[in-house]
Amino acid sequence: MVMSGESPDQDTADRPGELTAGVQPYYAHHAGSLAERYESVSFEAVHGDVLDLLPPPPARAADIGAGTGRDAAALARRGYDVLAVEPVPELRQVAQRLHPIPSVSWTEGSLPELRSLSGPLDLILLSAVWMHLAPADRSPAMGRLAGLLAPSGILVISLRRGEPPTDRVMYDVPAEEVVSLGETAGLHIVRVAENDTDSLGRDAIWWQSVVLRREAQ
Ligand SMILES: C[S@@+](CC[C@H](N)C(=O)[O-])C[C@H]1O[C@@H](n2cnc3c(N)ncnc32)[C@H](O)[C@@H]1O
């Protein structure tokens, strides 16, 4: 079941964990300025390296850690039925104001549990989210994502690389680790794309995009 609206259901709310302590205050406090930054670039500019691998719409997609909704809205415009999952209420509010699109359903939820979400999903996108996951949460998160994918479903994980900032919990996670976790969860590597420039123009930040596929059945 997918929840929409702003009240977490006791049965579907994810445990707060490290998100609350290390990330939520940052995103809650900066929601307005982050919206300007995130919305200053297009989905196509950010994810151009993997666009050819997206499943053909109409299809069911989820944007996990959807932030201010740039990618969820773009996927909806491309013809997907989109579940936008975002744990920080302040970001969800900005996103829903900026992108009032009927084919995007907003829900509260966070990795690794994502209890509010159910599959099967043809496309799951994590854009600049995996860097916030503690090492112990990564394997359960990958297992959960793999379980949500439909046969032949695609998982796209973009990784911010470089020295992490110190004002929020963040890790520099290499693509090799994500690929290995994906393979352990039964997924197959499709592509690792490298982009040595940051679309937001920041120094010393570069990106990798990992694309994994669940086997057809
Ligand atoms: C850098 S922002 C990226 C937002 C958006 N995906 C984009 O590309 O513009 C990171 C996002 O991940 C979310 N996030 C952090 N930890 C998360 C978790 N454990 N599960 C789901 N989302 C999480 C944050 O709330 C935030 O919206």
Give per-residue pLDDT as tens, 139-162: 999 999 999 999 999 999 999 999
Nearest CA to ligand 1 atom 8: 127
- Evaluate if residue 13 carries a pLDDT over 90: no
- How confident is the model over 180-186, as a mean pLDDT? 98
Domain range 10-214, its CATH number among 3.60.20.10, 3.90.870.10, 3.40.50.150, 3.40.50.720? 3.40.50.150
Nearest residue to 35 (alpha-carbon basis) of 86, 83, 76: 86
Interval between CA 217 and ligand 1 midpoint (Å): 31
3-state secondary structure (DSSP) of residue 211 = strand
pLDDT grade for 198, boundaries at 50, 70 and 90 = confident
CA 92 to ligand 1 centroid distance, Å:
11
From ligand 1's centre to the CA of 94, what distance in Å?
14
The model's confidence at residue 1, banded by pLDDT at 50, 70 and 90, is: very low
Distance of CA 208 to the CA centre of its chain: 14
Give the residue, by CA position, lying nearest to ligand 1 atom 11: 65
**pLDDT of 108 above 60:** yes
> Measuring from atom 13 of ligand 1, which residue has the nearest CA?
65
Substitution candidate for ligand 1 out of 132, 145, 200 with most atoms within 8 A of CB: 132
pLDDT of residue 63: 98
What are the domain boundaries of the chain? 10-214
- The CA–CA distances, whole Å, from 190 to 76, 100, 147, 158 equal 24, 33, 18, 14
pLDDT reported for residue 10: 52
User: How many angstroms separate the alpha carbon of residue 127 from the centre of ligand 1?
Assistant: 7
When pLDDT is averaged across residues 184-191 and rounded to a whole number, the result is: 98
Confidence label for 125 from pLDDT (cuts 50, 70 and 90): very high
- Ligand 1 centroid vs 191 CA: distance in angstroms? 22
Q: How many Å lie between the centroid of ligand 1 and the Cα of residue 157?
A: 12
DSSP three-state, residue 136: helix
Query: What whole-number distance in Å separates Cα of residue 172 and Cα of residue 164?
Result: 6
Q: What is the mean pLDDT of the chain?
A: 91
Q: Which atom of ligand 1 is nearest to the CA of 17?
A: 19
Distance CA 34, CA 14 (A): 24
Residue 5 pLDDT exceeds 60? no
For residue 127, which of 40, 208, 18 has the smallest C-alpha distance? 208
Q: 19-28, 73-82, 104-113: which has the minimum mean pLDDT?
A: 19-28
Contact 66, 41 (CB under 8 A): no
pLDDT value of residue 207? 96
Close Cβ partners of 104 (under 8 Å, ≥ 6 residues apart): 69, 72, 73, 76, 82, 83, 84
* pLDDT score at 27: 95
pLDDT for residue 12 is more than 80 = no
Mapping DSSP to helix (H, G, I), strand (E, B) and coil, where does residue 202 land? coil
Over 70: is that where the pLDDT of 7 sits? no
Pocket of ligand 1, beta carbon within 6 A: 19, 23, 27, 38, 64-67, 70-71, 86-88, 91, 110-111, 127-129, 132-133
* pLDDT score for 16: 57
Tell me what pLDDT residue 178 has. 98
Residue 160 alpha carbon, nearest atom of ligand 1: 1
